[in-house]
Each structure stands twice: as C-alpha cells, then as structure tokens.
Structure 1
Amino acid sequence: MLGTMKSRGVPVVPAVAAAAAIILFVFTAGQPAATAAIVEHTFIVSQVNMTRSCKETLVTVVNGQLPGPAIEVTEGDSLSVHVVNKSPYNITIHWHGVKQRLSCWADGVPMITQCPLRPNHNFTYRFDVAGQEGTLWWHAHVGCFRATLHGALIIRPRHGASSYPFPKPHVEIPMIIGEWWDMDLVQLERNMVDGDFRDNPTAMTINGQLGDPFNCSGIVKDGFVLDVEAGMTYLLRLINAALFTEFYLKIAGHKFTVVASDANYVNPYTTDTIAIAPGETMDVLVVANAPPGKYYMVAVALQTPKPDQQLPFFMTSGMVQYRSGHSHNNGTTGHHNVAPVVPELPDQHDTITTYYFHGNLTSLRHPRRPQVPVHADEYFFITLSDGSICRHGRQSCKRSGSNESMLVAAMNNVSFQLPATVAAPLLEAHYYHRNNTASIGGVDLYMLPNSPPRVFNFTDLSLVPSGPKEAQLEATKKRMVGRRFRHGTAVEVVFQNTALMQTGSHPMHLHGHDVFVLAQDHGIYDPAKDVAKYNLVDPPVKNTVVVPRLGWVALRFVADNPGLWYVHCHFDFHMIMGMDAVFIVDDGPTVASILPPPPDDLPNCNHGDNHASNELLYPHEGKGSVLQS
C-alpha cells in the first residue's frame, strides 16, 4: 500500500522548484516496517555563465549547479529522473556503476542504449538500485560534457548508517575532483575525434572550486573548505569526474582509512595518499585528530614521465579547518590568521604509488559480496594501445605522425566505430532481432579478437616516439567491435597495457556489471606463471579498473545481465578515439533474466524528416559533432 508522500533533502533551484525529490513509500507485503521508495528528481540541463580563473565561461550544467545535484537513495529504492534538455546540445545521462538489472534502456549511452535527448526534449530515466550500496555517480555520456554535467549518486544501506561495516561517521561529504576547461567542450570533442589530444584543461577543481593555486588576479580564490571538530570522524565520498586526469589526494597532518571503492566495501586500510582515476569512487574515513588549525587538502594531477608527451603541472587545493570553542564576532574559528599546514606533495610522475594503492584493495566479507568465479568459460587477452587509420578510407598511407593517417585508440588493434547511419540505438535493434547473432540492426558486428594480431615486446619504451619501429605496429581497424556472451558465462579478461605511442594507465569501465580484480603486475602477462598470483579469496569488486602503466590487470565477471553493455577507457580522449567495445549478454532461461521491452517514451533518432540523426551523432575524421542537433 502507499504511505505518506515526503520529500528528501535535495538541493532545489528556486527557478525550478519542481526539481525537489518526491518519495512515495511503498510497503512490501509481510514487512510492515520495511519500505522501498520511488525517488524522483528533475534535472534541467541548461547553459549558464560561470567565472573561474578570472574568465567568464558558458558551461552546460544541471539545475544551474557545478557539481550537479547529489542524489541520495536507499538500497532497494526505485529512481525516476526527469531530464529536461534546455541546452543546445544532444544529451544523455549515464548512471555510473549502477548495475541496471533488466533496465539496460536506462544506461544512457548514446546510440548504444538510447538515442540522445535532443534540445527542447525530455526523457525520464527509471531504474532500481537493489543490491547495491555506497558511492556511485552520474554524468553526461556525450562528447566531453562529463566535465560539467556530473554529480554524486549515494545509495545508503537499507538499515541505516548503523549497518556500515566500519565505525559510523559523524558527517558524510561528497567530494568530486575534476577539471576546469576554459575552452569550448564542443571543440575539444571535435579535436579528439580528429585524433588531436594536445588540449589541456585550465585548472583542477574540488567540488567545482579551483582553490589557492589558481590566483590569476592577485586575490586568493575561494576553494572547498571542510569545517571539522576535533575528535569527529568524517566519511569523504570521493569521485573522480575528470576527463583526462588521475589524481593523488593528501590532507596535511591526517591519514585516510579506505573503506569502499565503486560502491563495494573493502578491507579497511590506512594511507596518507589516495589514488583515484577517472570513473572511480573511493569512500574514506578521516578522523579530525590533529592539533586545531588549518590544513591544506591537495589534489595533484598524475602524469606519465618521458618519453610520453609532457603536460603542465596541475594541482588544486581545499582546506580542512578546525572549529574551536572561541568564535570571533565574524564567525571564524579563531585560526583564520594561522598559516595552513602544507602536505608533502607526491611527485607528478610517481606512477608506482597508484600501483600499490590499487594493489592494496581487497574485498571485505559482506552479505552482498558475490562469489568469485573459480573458473572462466571464456578468456580474452586484450592489448590497449594507440594506433592509426588512413584518412579518407584509403587502404595504405604513411603513418608515424603523417597527415595521411589519423590517431585512434584501440583494443587488440580494433578501434570502435558506430556505423555511419542507424535508425535506432543498437540495443533496440538487438531487442527486436535477437536471433541474429552476427549483426545488430543489419550492421555486422566485428568480433573482438581473443588476442592481439601480433605479439611483440608490449612494454618496449622505444615504441613511444614516432619512427619506423612503431609505424610497423600502429595499423588499426575501425569497426563496430563487440562480443556476445551466453547468459551466465564467466568471462576472464587480461588487459595488457602497451607502450605503443604512449605509456599511460587506462581506467577501464564496464557498464552493467561489477568485476573481480584478480591480479595486477608490471611487465608482460605470462599465463604460465601469473595465474598463480590470482586472488580468488577476496579480490576487490570494481566497475572501473586501473590498468597500470607498462603492466596488466586480470579480471573476471559473470555476464548475467541481459542487454548491450559498453566497455571503454574512462579517459575521454581514449573513449572518443575508439578504446571501446560492446558486450552483448543474451537473455537467460527465466522470466527474471529476460530483457523487458523498451519504455514507450524512449527518445527516437528522427528529426521529424525521417532521416536518422546518427551522421551528426558520431562524426568521422572530425566532421560534424556528437553534440549538436
């Protein structure tokens, strides 16, 4: 039966008071005290002027906010988010890390699960958050708009904070680390489609604020401030929303206790440095146990050393500020004239700290932790690399930086490309033609190879600079690449990083599933000896896995959620340049394992003139834009 209608504490923009969350409490039969809620939000996507780095920039945001509104739900709730697109661009919203059980239609990937939401149109995303708890997030999945269209999605335990498997914190704070771009994000996307990723962000942010390092006018800029009381414990829900950047985070004089990652609990461990890659979330406890005062919170952008292309040094800061019992008339804490304590900063080229940080993650024994597949049914060895294709459809061309070829990113030397025109998203075509295993909507599916076409010294640093050695290996196919799995298949994937044209790490994200991270190491994966390193007892459960620089990661997952699921690098330049694929999971044997039909209000791809819009959605060689209708 229906209970009383209530509203939950959600930021409301005065001009859009309808954006308030509405909760309908639905009492389940036989459990009069237990509730599952339908939580509603309205997201109004529009453009506003914001001033950062002494420059006014027109940015696309939700409800006038940066970051966008945080969504808070309880495990088992249903979520309805009404997206109203008042921007001039095509938009989709992806619910990063939400498993979308039997709701693949709401996954928010343009032309994979839905047609984009065109300007002056609206669409409601509906899905459940059963079986998950912790910190996830939402973000745009079109072009580069993730930089400004993002926010936290927090799933609380059904039995409240007292059921956390760690000391109950006094305060919980979402904290999003990101980038600020002065340049037009539409142009940024066009450049990357054309193989050009020389553009750099202007600054780094914490909860949308630049902080002290970006002092362009002689006036110290406001940054994120965390007011704390001595002896209290704070749960920081960390999210990396950046397009390009993995970060190290430190707070002077304090340590972190990591308790969860990607909405999965981990065995707590203490560290003074957090490593967090784009797409990842980390839940960390901080105890205010330092002498009263001010302490800098610093995020340093990590980058690979030479011979990779070098970027400017980027960092941003916030402040941890202790409250005291002696307040001044202006409400300050009594420490406002005390110089803040500065942490010892990690080196921007230190890639070993993130390797060990992620290697320390192990899964906490918990009722929600799934069983690790002891054996796999299918195996993949996938190299991650840059490559090139010949321009204008030519079969041969000069490479190694020549204007005759274009830079792409690839998995096993295949770079993802949607067909030039399609009349419907791939998921819809798949749903109505599920018996056709070789194509989707009449377009042949290029099968993701189980291994790369050539075996070479994958970690040879001499492959980074342009030259004849690298040119022999960079030829890449451009295809609609994917793989189909029978429902319930246990899949093992080894992602092998390479030094082909660059040596950076890759945060690989799989939609619709969590994965077990069995092992990682530097060098080249050797199945004869490296299987012995697998952790089959308590491997971390993740949705975004960092493949280390010049190394590999082995993972397993069970393909048990029917639909089409995007797998891609969460660095935007690599995703846009083709380090992507689609994993197709077939229906299962029961009603509860069959993908339901699409919602009646799913956006269509037509502009009213019976022409598919995909030519504009996924441009080739820099023509057109995914963004503009």
Structure 2
Amino acid sequence: MGCYKSSLVLELLSILLIQVFFVSLASKNVSVIDWVIKEANYTRLCSTKEILTVNGLFPGPALHLHAGDTLKVNVHNEGTHGVKQPRNPWSDGPEYVTQCPIKAGKNFTYEIILSNEVGTLWWHAHSDWSRATVHGPLIVYPKVGSNYTFRKPDGEIPIILGSWYKGDVMEIITEALSGGGEPNKSDALTINGQPGDLYNCSKPGTFKMVFDHGKTYLLRIINAIMNEEMFLMVANHTLTLVGTDGAYVKPVESSYIVITPGQTMDVLITADQSPNHYYMAARAYYGVVYDNTTTTAIVKYSGKYSAPSSPIMPSLPDYNDTDAVTSFTNKLRFLETKDHPIDVPKNVDRRFIITIALNTVACPDGSTCVGPDGDKMAASLNNISFNHPEMDILQAYYLGKEGYFTTDFPTTPLHVYNFTMDPMLGDYVTTTQGTNVTVLEFNSTVEIVFQGTNVLNASENHPMHLHGYSFYFVGSDFGNYSIKDDPKKYNLVDPPEVNTIGVPKNGWAAIRFRADNPGVWFMHCHLERHSSWGMGTVFIVKNGTTSSTSMRRPPHYLNPCT
C-alpha cells in the first residue's frame, strides 16, 4: 500500500496537532469561520491519489468551543456529529433527512449550538462515504469559570482513528450499491492520518507523541473508522476513561478501551513507566469484512536514554474477544455533577423493539446482482430498509409537503422469530423498502430496545447512533430480549449518557431518552455500509407549547434538492 502526503500537507497537519496539544483553556471568542471542501492531491511514497478534504487537511481542522457556545461554520461546497443542536435540525447534516447536499460551487452555513456537552465530539460529512476523509475533532471545554471533574491534564492530544482506501471511496460505495454486493474493505486503519510503521511505506509519517515522565495527558479519542469497532491500547500504560460522547463517566481504569464507529472517548494516561518508546496500537473487533490490520502510533518519553530498535508492543485482545468488549462496556457509569444532573426516565410513554438485520432486496428490472441468490444486499430496522426521499424530510415536514415519507414505522418487529438462532432460516432474509418515520410528542419519554439478529449470519456489533440527542444506555445482554424478564436487569440509577452504543452480536441493547428536542432526527447504524444499505429511520419530535420549546425557523438559505 502507499504512504501519506506531500511534505506541505504533512507540515500543515503537524501544526494542527501541535496547536491542539497546547491549546489554552481560555475562551476562543470565535463566531464565524470559513471552510473549503476540495480535492487535495496527497502524494504518498508508494502512490498518489486525490481525496476530499477540508482546508486541505486529513484529518480535518479541529473546532474548539466552550459548553454553551454557538459557532457558525460557512462550508464552501458537508456536517457535525454528536452535538444535540437544540431546536436546530437545520444544521444537523444527514443528506435527504435534514438537508439536501451542498451543490458543487455552492456554500452553506452550519450553526453549531452547544448545550450541556463537555468533552470530545467530532464533525463529519454525512453524504455517501465522504466522511472517510472529511472529519475532525470538535473539542468542548467546560464553561468559562468551570472545571473538569478530573484534575486538569498537563497536555491533551487528539487521537483520530480512521480508514484508508487505495481507491476512491465514493466510487467504491457507488459500485457496491449498483452491483448489489459488499463494498471493498479498507486497505489500512490509521491514527491521525497514518497507518503507522508496521507498514514500511508509512514509517516516515508515523504519528508520534512525546511524554514527560510523571505528567498526565488527556487523549481525545475519536473512532472515525468506516466499518470497524476497535480495541486500543498503549503498551504498559493504564488508561483511565473519564468521558464519552461529550458526557462525564465515573473513572474506569483499564489496559484497553473498546470504541465503536461514531463514538468519542476522553482518556487520561500518566507517563509513569521507564523512559522508552511505546506503541499505541489499535485493531478491529469482529466483522464480516473487517480490516484486520493493526494501526500504530508511538509514545516517546523525553530525556536521554538508549532508544530501542523497536517500540514495545501492547498485547491487544483477540479480534473475536467478546468477553473483553462486554467487560469494558459494562463498567460505564454516569458521573453526576451539579452542572450535569442525571435524568433517567423511570416511566416510559413510547416503547420500541427494533430488530437490526442484514437483508436482500430484488435486483431491479429482473437483472442479476452479486448479492446472495442474485439479489442486492440491504439492511433494515424492523424489516424496513430506509429509502432516502427526493426532498429532505425536514423541509417536507416543515413545509407540510406530502408524499415524501409515511409516519407508520412499526414499534415492534414485523416478523417475530428466534432472532439469534444459528443458522438463520431463509424466510427472513428479504426486506421491504420505504421512508417510514415515527412522530413523537414533545417531552414524551422513549425506550428503544435494539435486537440484533443472525440473518445472513451477521457476526458483528451494530453501533447505533441517534442525532439530536444523548440517551441513557440502560441495559444489554445476549440472546433474544424478554419483555418480561430483561427490564429487571436495567440500570436506572447511573447508566452512561451517550449518543452511540454498540448492540452486541446476537444480543440486545436498551436506551431511554426524553424527546425534548423538537425537529427531525436521523437514527442509523454507524457501520457505513449498513447505513448505505438502509439500516436507519427518522424520529420527528413535535414542537412544545412555547417558542423556546419549538423548532427554530429555517435559515434564509436552504440547499436546493434538485
């Protein structure tokens, strides 16, 4: 495989990372910034290719804000992720859900409105597979005059896990959707844009961090990978998780973390080992087409000592170590503070049991596709594969235009069977397609149980993400969900507040939230090929009774849909 970037882009990237590392906690006082999305020619030692970038950077530029801030980003020629955007779905980003794509040569101004998020979030494009290279950190500091719940670190470092494809990612998914089969897997996984020195051609650009002995650093970890849930370790060092998805958690000490696509984690690490060189390493957990490469960065201690011929490598969990995933996930607990109270709904107004499945749909016009039995690959929630309409759902809903969606998304599976049996019978492979959404009353309380299935022998977790909200992850287990018995296992005392969860392979996961953010909000699997196949749906949350509990008016300019 090839190696990254011209010297100019490498230099720009290292400037960006140094600025993030030494950033001041003072207010940035930034109101409007301009970004240009364009193709950049990245010359690698082994090959040359063009990729889509923001301001010529991969990963893209970091945004620094304080809790409660508002920032306008004028994007010339797409999105934000994890921000709840109170009453403001107009700047949420998903194509044909809350806006139509920005046309070539045009621009759109996103208004990023923060509420109670604190920690690490991220922004990314939400059009086809362009997020593979169009993404970056969104760092939210506590309100001016407030502090973290942990001791101020001596420094902070963004760690962005990504995917690298030799081919054009847009062509890869377009060809896969047209032919009906699986898209090509990535050719490498990356840390801050580099696969690491396990690849000879990437060795000169391997990302390196310098630690001073005795100091503590905050790693702001983002999984921007397209299709893989990841294990991450730093050899011989303990990682202390203190936040995830912009919310605090009770500190969790571990030798490794597990992070799904779409998730962010704030992790403290203390340089308490003998001065040496240590690998930070990450590799995938499970997956039918997972990229089984290992990406690395290097932690170097400052000072004089004999440098080793090779850094010390951590012993990562095996790619199929489900026990390691479960053990780590079960440790997550919400950390309540005066500014961040907990509000887990104890009573529920609307309940959903939603099956997650890989499926097939008939190849169009009687032709033969390369999916199972000559059909096209698809994915579904409650046996409905989401179809994007010709006008975005938000505009259609706001303007009262009919025919673009229906409000009959089922609250329970259309077919009830032994969801996790192996092998799965063929009767449940085929799915229907539609733009079926759910309408929620303002301030209603909602519970969703995501039930994994073994249709088409799907052997991976599903990271489910809901736009516009953080939610409480109240329980999960393996097997088929029991309405009678499993709610008794819920944690309604201190469940973590997140915006993305990994639904266990052949298991279930339950979330609860209060529908107090009016607007149109996309829910989807963050494995990108599953989302492209239709594993998503939409919640429309109605306005409250006052202007402050109602959706904001649209901006003066909206992207045209035709």
Normalised TM-score (structure 1): 0.82
Aligned with 1:116 (options 101, 125, 134): 101
Aligned with 1:484 (options 413, 430, 439): 439
Following superposition, the deviation at residue 229 of structure 1 comes to 0.3
Following superposition, the deviation at residue 373 of structure 1 comes to 0.5
Q: Does 1:273 align with 2:273?
A: no
**Matched residues in 2 for 1:485 and 1:478: separation?**
22
User: Aligned pair in 2 of structure 1 residues 604, 360: CA closer, same or farther (>3 Å)?
Assistant: same
User: Aligned pair in 2 of structure 1 residues 291, 139: CA closer, same or farther (>3 Å)?
Assistant: same
Q: Which runs of 5+ in 1 are unaligned?
A: 1-10, 15-19, 21-33, 86-91, 327-333, 434-439, 464-468, 606-611, 613-629
Q: Does 1:497 align with 2:480?
A: no
| CA radius of gyration, larger in | 1
**Matched residues in 1 for 2:128 and 2:43: separation?**
22
Task: Please list, as runs of the form range in 1=range in 2, the aligned pairs for 1:8-87 lying within 5 A after superposition.
Answer: 37-52=29-44, 54-85=46-77
Q: What letter matches 1:193 in structure 2?
A: L
Match of 1:323 in 2: 302
Q: Does 1:474 align with 2:453?
A: no
Q: What letter matches 1:566 in structure 2?
A: F
Aligned with 1:225 (options 204, 208, 225): 208
**Matched residues in 2 for 1:368 and 1:341: separation?**
39
Match of 2:245 in 1: 262
Aligned with 2:364 (options 375, 379, 392): 392
Deviation sequence 1:99-133 (CA, Å, 0-9, x none): 01011100011121112111111111113213221
Q: What letter matches 2:480 in structure 1?
A: I
Query: What secondary structure is seen at the aligned counterpart in 2 of 1:124?
Result: strand
Q: What letter matches 1:297 in structure 2?
A: M
**Matched residues in 1 for 2:411 and 2:368: separation?**
27
User: Aligned pair in 2 of structure 1 residues 383, 159: CA closer, same or farther (>3 Å)?
Assistant: same
Aligned with 2:330 (options 346, 355, 359): 359
Match of 2:170 in 1: 186
The count of aligned residue pairs is 540
Deviates more, 1:48-57 or 1:511-520: 48-57
Aligned with 2:462 (options 506, 519, 522): 506
**Matched residues in 2 for 1:191 and 1:535: separation?**
44
Query: What secondary structure is seen at the aligned counterpart in 2 of 1:573?
Result: helix
Q: Does 1:413 align with 2:396?
A: no
Match of 1:526 in 2: 482
Q: What letter matches 1:472 in structure 2?
A: D
Task: Please list, as runs of the form range in 1=range in 2, the aligned pairs for 1:225-264 lying within 5 A after superposition.
Answer: 225-264=208-247
Q: Is the 8 A contact 2:276 2:308 kept in 1?
A: no
Following superposition, the deviation at residue 450 of structure 1 comes to 1.3
Q: Does 1:545 align with 2:501?
A: yes
Aligned with 2:88 (options 100, 103, 107): 103
Q: What letter matches 2:241 in structure 1?
A: V
Match of 1:140 in 2: 125
User: Aligned pair in 2 of structure 1 residues 319, 102: CA closer, same or farther (>3 Å)?
Assistant: same
Following superposition, the deviation at residue 596 of structure 1 comes to 2.1
User: Aligned pair in 2 of structure 1 residues 462, 35: CA closer, same or farther (>3 Å)?
Assistant: closer
Q: Is the 8 A contact 2:239 2:267 kept in 1?
A: yes
Match of 1:7 in 2: none
Deviates more, 1:40-49 or 1:581-590: 40-49
Q: What letter matches 1:445 in structure 2?
A: T
Match of 1:447 in 2: 408
Q: What letter matches 2:444 in structure 1?
A: T
Q: Is the 8 A contact 1:233 1:288 kept in 2?
A: yes
Match of 2:292 in 1: 313
Q: Does 1:426 align with 2:393?
A: yes
Deviation sequence 1:453-495 (CA, Å, 0-9, x none): 22211111212xxxxx2x2111211000210001011010000
Match of 1:595 in 2: 551
Deviates more, 1:309-318 or 1:378-387: 309-318
Q: Is the 8 A contact 2:478 2:505 kept in 1?
A: yes
**Matched residues in 2 for 1:477 and 1:167: separation?**
52
Aligned with 2:351 (options 351, 371, 379): 379
**Matched residues in 2 for 1:293 and 1:108: separation?**
44
User: Aligned pair in 2 of structure 1 residues 117, 293: CA closer, same or farther (>3 Å)?
Assistant: same
CA RMSD of aligned residues (A): 2.4
Match of 2:281 in 1: 298
Aligned with 2:473 (options 482, 503, 517): 517
Q: Does 1:204 align with 2:189?
A: yes
Q: Which runs of 5+ in 2 are unaligned?
A: 1-9, 14-18, 20-25
Q: Is the 8 A contact 1:191 1:197 kept in 2?
A: no
Following superposition, the deviation at residue 446 of structure 1 comes to 5.0
Query: What secondary structure is seen at the aligned counterpart in 1 of 2:423?
Result: helix
Q: What letter matches 1:389 in structure 2?
A: V
- Identical aligned pairs, as a percentage? 38
Q: Is the 8 A contact 1:13 1:63 kept in 2?
A: no
Task: Please list, as runs of the form range in 1=range in 2, the aligned pairs for 1:537-576 lying within 5 A after superposition.
Answer: 537-576=493-532
Q: Is the 8 A contact 2:119 2:140 kept in 1?
A: yes
Q: What letter matches 1:431 in structure 2?
A: Y
Following superposition, the deviation at residue 592 of structure 1 comes to 0.2
Following superposition, the deviation at residue 338 of structure 1 comes to 4.8
Q: Is the 8 A contact 1:114 1:603 kept in 2?
A: yes
Aligned with 1:346 (options 305, 317, 331): 317
Q: Is the 8 A contact 2:72 2:111 kept in 1?
A: yes
Q: Is the 8 A contact 1:36 1:78 kept in 2?
A: no
User: Aligned pair in 2 of structure 1 residues 312, 131: CA closer, same or farther (>3 Å)?
Assistant: closer
Following superposition, the deviation at residue 78 of structure 1 comes to 1.0
Q: What letter matches 1:261 in structure 2?
A: T
Deviation sequence 1:58-100 (CA, Å, 0-9, x none): 1000011111000001112110101112xxxxxx21x111001
Q: What letter matches 2:552 in structure 1?
A: P
Normalised TM-score (structure 2): 0.92
User: Aligned pair in 2 of structure 1 residues 154, 35: CA closer, same or farther (>3 Å)?
Assistant: closer
Deviation sequence 1:481-514 (CA, Å, 0-9, x none): 2100010110100000111111211000000011
**Matched residues in 2 for 1:293 and 1:480: separation?**
55
**Matched residues in 2 for 1:352 and 1:35: separation?**
42
**Matched residues in 2 for 1:135 and 1:410: separation?**
30
Q: Is the 8 A contact 1:37 1:78 kept in 2?
A: no
Q: What letter matches 1:432 in structure 2?
A: L
Following superposition, the deviation at residue 139 of structure 1 comes to 0.3
User: Aligned pair in 2 of structure 1 residues 66, 400: CA closer, same or farther (>3 Å)?
Assistant: closer
User: Aligned pair in 2 of structure 1 residues 397, 208: CA closer, same or farther (>3 Å)?
Assistant: closer
User: Aligned pair in 2 of structure 1 residues 138, 175: CA closer, same or farther (>3 Å)?
Assistant: same
**Matched residues in 1 for 2:64 and 2:538: separation?**
30
**Matched residues in 2 for 1:59 and 1:141: separation?**
16
Q: What letter matches 1:417 in structure 2?
A: N
Following superposition, the deviation at residue 221 of structure 1 comes to 3.8
